[in-house]
Structure 1
Amino acid sequence: MIIESAEVVVTSPGRTFVTLRITTDEGLIGLGDATLNGRELAVASYLSDHVAPLLIGRDAHAVEDTWQYLHRGAYWRRGPVTMTAIAAVDVALWDLVAQRAGLPLYQLLGGASRRGLLAYGHAGGRDLPELSEAIHRRLAEGFRAIRVQSGVPGIAALYGVTDPGTAYEPARRAARPVEEQWDSRAYLRHLPGVLEAVRHEFGPELPLLHDVHHRLTPIEAARLGRSLEPYDLFWLEDCTPAENQEALRLVRSHTVTPLAIGEVFNSVHDYRTLIGEQLVDFIRSSPTHTGGITALRRILDLAGLHQIRSGMHGPTDVSPVGMAAALHLGLAVHNFGIQEYMPHAAVTADVFETSFTFAAGLLHPGELPGLGVRLDLAAAARYPYQAAYLPVNRLPDGTVHDW
């Protein structure tokens, strides 16, 4: 099964996606997600100009060899652009190999380890009544675990919070990023009361999650984790920027609130201290941004040796192709924990036909051969590229801060 062509498709149905489309001499088509929110064209160029020409004539079955060829052969390793490009190739090859075998991809990864994947939905509100309403909506949609994000008095706009009844999409279509404000002290004062009210209203059984989004120092994160212990969080996500892996030692020493980290990581090396010292409880990486299924499977296997589970990133800036890859991998690995699930905009379904399902709180990738995702090229052409950027954050005095 020889690769005859490798094409990069950039389309913006609701938001921008980058898809690698590999065609073999047998007429099979494999898809890989190459979407890097706010830097999409960098990956598209990396693939079109530097990777696609190297794929022509290669055996599509050689998934491992191709991964090593692209990772070691480029000399310049790691980084989000490189690893997202490699991920697109890797996932597309897995898609092809599974299609050639006539099996859904998870069967080639060892078969199903569970009936479905517990998914959590997002609920945000500018105040407690709006947040309560949003949680009720997610529960009515079938979610059995909820991520809770709340407005903070004095902060005009916050990550994860939007007007009632509207889908949250942080990337704004504009010539430059929107600037938002942040106040750590106000947030630390306000959030524990929010979680207390939610737990009181919805009871002890509902798994609750919260995302700090990298905004606290290690000692602030430790303080928050301890203050939230009475409300029994499923996890506290990205409590501090974790590129300094040793910083999590301080957080871990002060709180037993479970910690989830890694959506901006792209290599096993980003996790070595965190996994080896069991400083986190959940791995947040997605196949799309971590070198694909081949690389993330290795990370999760290492994590499993340390009682650390998966919690793969599943926002709308991971395309339906990337989401399908996460579901196949999550269904197969033993140490699955939970799957983030933000349903894509309805217009996205004009371009991507998917086989994965969500019912009774569980996701399943479906039984079609391969990933179970098809890309409609004609539909993709109807949604030309539109630039969009994630916001930039500033402290009250104007200092640029982590968003």
Structure 2
Amino acid sequence: MKIVDAKVVVTSPGRNFVTLKITTDEGISGLGDATLNGRELAVASYLQDHVAPLLVGIDPHRIEDTWQSLYRGAYWRRGPVTMAAIAAVDVALWDIKAKAAGLPLYQLLGGASRERVGTYGHANGQDIPELFDSIRARMAEGYPAIRIQTGIPGLKTVYGVHHSAGATAVPHQQARPVVEDWDTAAYLRHIPTVFEAVRNEFGPELPLLHDAHHRLTPIQAAQLGKDLEPYRLFWLEDCTPAEDQDGLRLVRRHTTTPLAIGEVFNSVYDYQTLVSEKLIDYVRSAVTHFGGVSPLKKLFDFAAQHQIKSAIHGPEDISPVGMAAAIHLDLAIHNFGIQEYAGYTPLTDEVFPHAYTFTDGYLHPGEAPGIGVELDEDLAAAHGYEAAYLPVNRLLDGTVHDW
């Protein structure tokens, strides 16, 4: 079997997605997700102009060799653009291999380690009553765990809090970035009162998560983790920019609140200290941004040696292709923790028809051969790329801050 074609499809059924489609001389095609939110065309060009020509003529079954060739052969290693491109190739090749075997991907990864994949959903509100309504909505959908984000008094726009009732995603298609404001002291005062209110309303058993979104210094993160200890969080996510791996030592010394890190990481080298010193409890990288199924499974095996669990990043800008690959991994690995799942618009699901299911808060990849996702290329072509950016964040004096 040989690869005869590799093409890139950029589509925007509500938000932008970059998909690689690899086709073999036996008529088997595989899909990979290369979406990098706000920088989609950079990855599309990397794939179309630099990677696709290298794929034609090679054996698609040589997944590890191809991965190493793309990673080492370019000389310039790592980085989100490179690793998203490599991820698309890796997942597309796994898709082809599993289809050729007539098996769903998880069977090639060792088979199922569980019957279904537990998820967490997103609840948010400008104030406590609105937040309670959002929590009840997620509970009604069956989510077994819920992430809590809320407005901060005195701030107009805060990460993870939507502006319209029933909104399911951060406003995405923007010609220029939305500017959000930030006040760390106000945040640190307010968030413990939010979790106190949520626990008083919903009791001690509901698993609760919170995302600080890289906005705190290590000592601020340590203070927040300590203040949240009475409310028994499932985790505190991205409490400080984790490229400062030493900073997590300080956080860990001062709080027993579990820590989740890594959605912006794209190689195992970002995790070495954090995992080997047990400074975190969950690794958060996505298949799409970490180089694919091959390296992410290796990361999970490394984490398992230190009793650290998986928690694959699963926002709306990971396409259904990337989400399906994640669910196959979730089902197969032993040290699964939880899967983020925000769902998709009906139009996105039409562009990417898929075998995976979401039922009563749990995911399953389905039994279709491969990853179980197809691409409606005609419908995708009807929804072309739209310029879009993630927001930026500024302190009240105008200084750019971490978003």
Note whether the superposition's TM-score is higher than 0.5: yes
Amino acid at match of 2:251: V
In the alignment, what sits opposite 1:246? Answer: 246
Using the alignment, how far apart are the partners of 2:370 and 2:299 within structure 1? 22
Structure 2 letter corresponding to 1:397: D
AA aligned to 1:274 is: L
Secondary structure at the counterpart of residue 10 of structure 2: strand
Task: Tell me what 2:22 maps to.
Answer: 22
8 Å CA contact retained: 2:17, 2:35: yes
Q: Contact 2:15–2:172 at 8 Å: present in 1 too?
A: no
3-state secondary structure, aligned to 1:31: strand
How does the TM-score come out when normalised to structure 2?
0.99
- Which amino acid in 1 is paired with 2:45? S
Q: CA deviation at 1:180?
A: 1.0
Aligned to 1:177: 177
Q: How many residues align?
A: 403
SS at match of 1:6: strand
Contact 2:145 2:207 in 1 (8 A): yes
Shift of 1:164: 4.8
Distance 2:181 2:170 in 1: 14
Match of 1:215 in 2: 215
CA distance in 2, matches of 1:262, 1:229: 22
Question: Which residue number in structure 2 is paired with residue 189 of structure 1?
Answer: 189
Q: Distance in 2 between matches of 1:165 and 1:57?
A: 51
Q: Which residue of 2 aligns with 1:125?
A: 125
Who is 2:282 aligned against? 282
Equivalence for 1:381: 381
Deviation (angstroms), 1:362 = 1.2
TM-fit CA distance, 1:346: 1.3
Report the equivalent of 1:69: 69
User: Residue 283 of structure 1 contacts residue 308 of structure 1 at CA under 8 Å; is this kept in 2?
Assistant: yes
Query: In 2, Cα distance between the equivalents of 1:253 and 1:359?
Result: 39
Deviation per CA, 1:90-130, whole angstroms, max 9, x where unpaired?
00000000000000000000000001111000000000000
Pairwise CA distance, 1:192: 0.2
**1: distance between equivalents of 2:359 and 2:350?**
22
Q: 2:263 matched to which residue of 1?
A: 263
> Corresponding residue for 2:98?
98
Give TM-score, length-normalised by structure 1: 0.99
Q: Within 5 A, what are the aligned runs for 1:317-356?
A: 317-356=317-356
Deviation per CA, 1:171-220: give whole Å up to 9, x if none. Answer: 53232211111000000000000001101111111100000000000000
Whole-Å separation in 2 of the counterparts to 1:360 and 1:351: 24
Using the alignment, how far apart are the partners of 2:174 and 2:305 within structure 1?
45
Q: Is the contact made by 1:38 and 1:171 (CA closer than 8 Å) also made in structure 2?
A: no
Residue matched to 2:158: 158
**Alpha-carbon distance between aligned partners in 1 of 2:167 and 2:17, rounded to the nearest angstrom:** 18
> What fraction of aligned residue pairs are identical, expressed as a percent?
68
**3-state DSSP class of the match of 1:246?**
helix
Q: Equivalents in 1 of 2:173, 2:338: separation in Å?
A: 31
Q: Report if the CA contact (8 A) 1:33-1:318 is conserved.
A: yes
Task: For residue 368 of structure 1, give the secondary structure of its aligned residue in structure 2.
Answer: coil
CA distance in 1, matches of 2:78, 2:94: 21
Partner in structure 2 of residue 58 of structure 1? 58
Equivalent residue letter for 2:185: R
> Could you report, residue by residue, the CA deviation over 1:17-36 in whole angstroms, capped at 9, with x for unpaired residues?
00000000111110000000
| More off after superposition, 29-38 vs 355-364 | 355-364
Tell whether 2:303 aligns with 1:303: yes
One-letter identity of the residue aligned with 1:251: V
CA deviation map 1:334-354 (0-9, x unaligned): 000000001011110221001
What do the CA deviations read for 1:318-376 (whole angstroms, capped 9, x no partner)?
Answer: 00000000000111000000000010111102210011111122111111000000000
Is contact 1:118–1:339 with CA below 8 Å preserved after alignment? Answer: yes
Q: Which amino acid aligns with 2:158?
A: L
Give the counterpart letter for 1:241 in structure 2. Answer: P
**Which residue matches 1:361?**
361
Contact 1:170–1:391 (Cα < 8 Å) also in 2: no
Equivalent residue, structure 2, for 1:394: 394
Q: Alignment partner of 2:374: what SS?
A: strand
Q: In the TM superposition, what is the alpha-carbon distance from 1:170 to its structure 2 partner? A: 2.8
CA contact (8 A) 2:125 2:134 kept: yes
On the 8 A contact 1:171/1:391 being kept in 2, the answer is no
1:45 counterpart residue number: 45
Instruction: Report the equivalent of 2:107.
Output: 107
Structure 1 counterpart of 2:64, which letter?
Answer: E
Q: Secondary structure at the match of 1:123?
A: strand
Counterpart Cα distance in 2 of 1:365 and 1:182: 39
Is there any run of 5+ residues in structure 2 with no aligned partner, and where?
Answer: none
**Bigger mean CA deviation after superposition, 84-93 or 171-180:** 171-180
Contact 1:121–1:340 (Cα < 8 Å) also in 2: yes
| In 1: Cα distance, 2:110 partner to 2:258 partner | 28
Which secondary structure does the structure 2 equivalent of 1:165 belong to? coil
